[in-house]
Structure 1
Amino acid sequence: MENTTLNLVILLVYMGGLMGFGLYQGMKVKNTTDLNMGGRAVPGWACALSERATAESAWCLVGFPGFAYGSGLVSIWVAIGLALGNIFAWTALANRMRKEAAKYDAQTYVDWIVKRHAKSKAVTAIRLFGSFVVIFLFAFYVEAQVIGGGKTLHTLFGLPVTIGIILTMVVIIPYTVWGGFQSVVYTDCVQSVLMIFTLIVAPLYGLYYISVTPGVYATSITEALKLAGPTFMDWTAGAKGIFAGFMIASNFAWIIAYLGGCPHLTVRFMAMKDDAAWRMGRNIACVWTVLGYSGAILIGLVGIAIFGPSNIKDAEMIMPLVVLKIFPPALAAICVTGAVAAMLSTADSMLIVTSSEFSENILKPIIMKDKKLGAKKELLISRCVTVVVGLAALALAFLLPDSMVYSIVSFAWASMGNPFAVVTCMTLLWDKYTGTAALWTMVFGFFGTVLWQISPMNAILDARLMGVFPALFAAYFVTKLTYGRDNVTEDVSGDTDIVGEN
């Protein structure tokens, strides 16, 4: 059997098993809380593995190893920022979010913000604008993962890109629609284990491989970095003085979005069962994070040692090329499947979050005006919305050019992370923070990040760092202007009273 055929068989068996497992988990879904939040009873280990698979996705198995391959030691600053952000989120924010979600019966991230500021005059605007940001950015995220899956299948197995795109969605949509959050979490667990297996085994064996194999570019990481050129050994990639500080700060700024700025991750915190689940999840997630980022960097550096610094046309294919080079065909196929698994884990998570935000914050309260429906009818409507969102993402994958999709995705992390991170931290940590301030935090953070991203200054200081300042500005000054005057209640006679924050 040819290696390509073996790889394809293993991938198809994996994807078929994944779909079956997801559909089985969906049998446990009885209402919209189960669909959106897993009944708020998900074990800590499952939330941790799912959150890690969703957060890292193709980035940790494709993008980040490619970045390390192309840049060398400077990639460590990104890893430190990401790792510290995730560790802080799990230790300082996760259990608070779990308790808040239970207290306010929040179905989604935006639903939590709305219910937390339920008496604010800006509550409807918060619901609409917050949902817009999530739906707009996640639609392109899902599309990018679908296209990425299609391209990976084409590169590795020779499948036409269009067939790969359709195959990716054929796997994702059924179990996401049927099982929602429940299916997504547990299928993500499978994918998370496969991902961390690849990120641990591939670099460790790769270090052994380069040390005993003749004809490689270098026999050690140190030798490879020296041969690759001075910038590969430089912690600032050749930047000097204040520009070195700018470079480090921009790379380190990945930490910001992890501070409650990613709804598809935050919802995992909200779904945990209890304090014991949080403690278990925290420990697993922190260990996974350290091992995962270390492995991703090492894969890129091993790639330099095997192939040299400029012999790979597409740096982001370095992980598949490394494992196909060093491992026997069957083991290589399992590791390569990890890259596709990473894309699926992100696509399914963002698909269910997008459909949940639309159903809970726009369709039911705004369009249907909170019309009372039975549990089965609500569940059916939510599933139908998920189908529509999935098909819309599939259509976008065929209608929009790749360059436009990836240019949007390149700043989606910051455009979402900057405003929502500030809203989350301020809501949890500052009692005076008002609903109107939350609205303007989102507005200033979103548009400020986008405008900075498209400006020439982004080449000096990244929007991931600079976009947070408009959000902080709005959070502080609007709170000062509206505290004590933001909340509105109506008495029984219909007169409006303005009351202060509690």
Structure 2
Amino acid sequence: MELQTIPIMLVFGIFMIAMICIGIAVYQETQTFTDFALGGRRLSAVVAALSAEASDMSGWLFLGLPGAVYAAGIGATWIAVGLIIGTYLNWRFVAPRLRTYTELANNSVTLPAYLEERFEDRSRMLRIITATVIVVFFTVYVASGLVAGGLLFDQIFRVGFQFGVTVFAVVIVIYSVLGGFRAMCMSHSVQGTLMLLAACALPLIGLWQLGGFGALHDALADKAPALLDMGTEASLADRRWTAGEPLGAIAVISMLAWGLGYFGQPHILARFMGIRSTHDIPLARRIGVSWVVVVLTGASLVGLLGIALIHPTLTEPETVFIVLSSQLANPWFTGVLLVAVLAAIKSTADSQLLVAATSLTEDFFHAFLNRRASDTVLLLTVRATVIGVALVAYLIALSGGAVLDIVAYAWAGFGAAIGPVLLLSLYWPRMTKAGATAGIVTGALTVVLWEDIDPLLGPFQTGVYAMVPGVLAATAAALFFGTFVGRPPMRSWVGAMEKRTPARGRVHRG
């Protein structure tokens, strides 16, 4: 073992032990299934904001985004722009109503349970379909997180991919089983702070060593002027950058469309459901959006600084954050920076693991197999399910795979299948269960089949990200069937929400 890896390993060890300790500390506070699934709806604005954004970003923040910017220049930052817009709109238009509606809907702890109650679906098919989409997509999504964690361990410590995946999975399972949602959100507050520190510190160190933004601009211009053009993606080949093709409207729309996915991400929406008060949401929104702006800007700067400071040119652009950290910081601080990468990966994987296990427990076991199950039985079941889902994801992860391709696929699947239906459920009182079912099925199928459908269009082939046709198709299906098939719910949800919305100066606590 090289001497410089010892400090990094110690920092990693301290971080993972701290996460397990949080699970142990919260264990006694987790007395009911709602405590485990949503933290008893007691999240503060700060914890909800940091947890929502930390669970959102995943390893893409420090691996995928800096790597894309390193390879293509600032033209690759359109995705970040879309994510910032999507984050704001999600907090502004979804969070307040979802927090209130899920409490009104028989205190629902999962999205399938909420949709079933919202549309008065006595057939329960809507619940089954939604839960199936969540469990299937999230199990694969968790596997992609385990793959990323295994690759990170192997790249830093050379311990082998399988060993890295195993260690990563065990740590996540231990504190998730012990503390559930509350332990996860508390750990995310720590991890979100670490991620913010890393996204600020590494660019500042790099800019100081290089000589400021002017020197960075000159260095990039010397490499290839296209690196500084927002309308072009440079091309990296044979360790050299050349001018790429100008970004067309389709490419820009595809990257911005990542922001549409926020409205349907269950692991982010769960934080809205768990916040303690609708009056905490404005503060949480300001914290969350500010956090996203800072970390996405910092991660993009890391990619640009890598172009200027790393020699020779990297053959694997996604390693730019790791290489730059090792090059610019002492081993102890490098350990802190690399733990932030681990935190980004873990905060998403554990959130998805918990949502999948909670949905299996609430939407299948509790809803169909044991409707009278006590909290004790539900807690035992959901903890066993966490282990079961993690095991399946672990087996999938051992086969490896392209992490970011899986992330893009699952992100589009959730965004298209759940996003349009959720928004309509919150803002269209006359929406029917037929419209909701059609929207979810159409959105999911469009994303799954899009890669096969698009090439068949011949000269009309678009190459657009599956999110775009998925959202359009799901919205059209939901509007058509919601208008012409079935009856609207008997209950006036808008009226009920107005009664529950607190007057100015009063605080509503669920």
Question: Scaled by the length of structure 1, what TM-score is found?
Answer: 0.90
Amino acid across the alignment from 2:97:
R
Q: 1:223 — aligned with what?
A: 218
CA contact (8 A) 1:26 1:182 kept: no
Residue among 252, 256, 277 paired with 2:256? 252
Q: 1:359 — aligned with what?
A: 361
Q: 1:204 — aligned with what?
A: 204
CA contact (8 A) 2:135 2:359 kept: yes
SS in 2 for 1:237: coil
- Deviation sequence 1:472-497 (CA, Å, 0-9, x none): 1101111121253x6699xxxxxxxx
- Deviation sequence 1:334-362 (CA, Å, 0-9, x none): 00111011111111111100000111111
SS in 2 for 1:220: helix
Q: 1:416 — aligned with what?
A: 414
Q: How far apart in 1 are the matches of 2:79 and 2:386?
A: 34
**1:37 paired to 2:38:** yes
CA contact (8 A) 1:432 1:483 kept: no
SS in 1 for 2:430: coil
Residue among 229, 251, 269 paired with 1:234? 229
Relative to structure 1, the CA distance from residue 124 to residue 224 in structure 2 (aligned partners, 3 Å threshold; closer, same or farther) is farther
SS in 2 for 1:433: coil
Relative to structure 1, the CA distance from residue 113 to residue 48 in structure 2 (aligned partners, 3 Å threshold; closer, same or farther) is same
Q: How far apart in 2 are the matches of 1:180 and 1:470?
A: 36
SS in 2 for 1:136: helix
Q: How far apart in 2 are the matches of 1:276 and 1:326?
A: 43
Q: How far apart in 1 are the matches of 2:367 and 2:321?
A: 46
Q: 2:187 — aligned with what?
A: 187
Q: How far apart in 2 are the matches of 1:365 and 1:78?
A: 39
Q: How far apart in 2 are the matches of 1:237 and 1:432?
A: 45
Q: 2:442 — aligned with what?
A: 444
Q: How far apart in 1 are the matches of 2:66 and 2:93?
A: 29
CA contact (8 A) 2:100 2:278 kept: no
Q: How far apart in 1 are the matches of 2:397 and 2:61?
A: 22
- Deviation sequence 1:59-78 (CA, Å, 0-9, x none): 11111111111111112211
Q: How far apart in 1 are the matches of 2:189 and 2:484?
A: 45
SS in 1 for 2:92: helix
Q: How far apart in 2 are the matches of 1:450 and 1:363?
A: 27
Q: 1:402 — aligned with what?
A: 401
CA contact (8 A) 2:55 2:351 kept: yes
CA contact (8 A) 1:411 1:453 kept: no
Q: How far apart in 1 are the matches of 2:462 and 2:301?
A: 27
Residue among 460, 463, 485 paired with 1:460? 463
Relative to structure 1, the CA distance from residue 353 to residue 290 in structure 2 (aligned partners, 3 Å threshold; closer, same or farther) is same
**1:336 paired to 2:338:** yes
- Deviation sequence 1:447-487 (CA, Å, 0-9, x none): 11221134437872111222211101101111121253x66
Question: Scaled by the length of structure 2, what TM-score is found?
Answer: 0.89
Q: 2:96 — aligned with what?
A: 95
Q: How far apart in 1 are the matches of 2:277 and 2:45?
A: 8
CA contact (8 A) 1:23 1:174 kept: no
Q: How far apart in 2 are the matches of 1:76 and 1:101?
A: 35
CA contact (8 A) 1:145 1:343 kept: yes
- Please, what is the CA RMSD of the aligned residues? 2.2
Give the Å deviation of 1:98: 1.0
Amino acid across the alignment from 1:117:
F
Relative to structure 1, the CA distance from residue 302 to residue 240 in structure 2 (aligned partners, 3 Å threshold; closer, same or farther) is closer
1:5-84 correspondence runs (5 A): 5-84=6-85
CA contact (8 A) 1:62 1:316 kept: yes
- Deviation sequence 1:68-127 (CA, Å, 0-9, x none): 111111122111110010011112221111111221101112221111112x36x52211
CA contact (8 A) 2:250 2:462 kept: no
Give the Å deviation of 1:256: 0.4
How many residues in Structure 1 have an aligned counterpart in Structure 2? 476
Q: How far apart in 1 are the matches of 2:71 and 2:419?
A: 30
Q: 2:136 — aligned with what?
A: 136
Unaligned residue ranges in structure 1 (runs of 5+)? 213-217, 490-501
Give the Å deviation of 1:406: 5.7
SS in 2 for 1:402: coil
Amino acid across the alignment from 2:224:
G
Relative to structure 1, the CA distance from residue 226 to residue 397 in structure 2 (aligned partners, 3 Å threshold; closer, same or farther) is same
Q: 2:264 — aligned with what?
A: 261
Residue among 275, 285, 290 paired with 2:288? 285
User: Percent of aligned positions with the same letter in both sequences?
Assistant: 26
Q: How far apart in 1 are the matches of 2:401 and 2:258?
A: 24
Q: How far apart in 2 are the matches of 1:291 and 1:17?
A: 26
Q: How far apart in 1 are the matches of 2:313 and 2:61?
A: 22
Unaligned residue ranges in structure 2 (runs of 5+)? 234-243, 497-510
Give the Å deviation of 1:234: 2.4
Q: Which shows bigger deviation, 230-239 or 94-103?
A: 230-239
Residue among 453, 475, 480 paired with 1:477? 480
Q: How far apart in 1 are the matches of 2:323 and 2:292?
A: 23
Give the Å deviation of 1:164: 0.8
Give the Å deviation of 1:230: 3.9
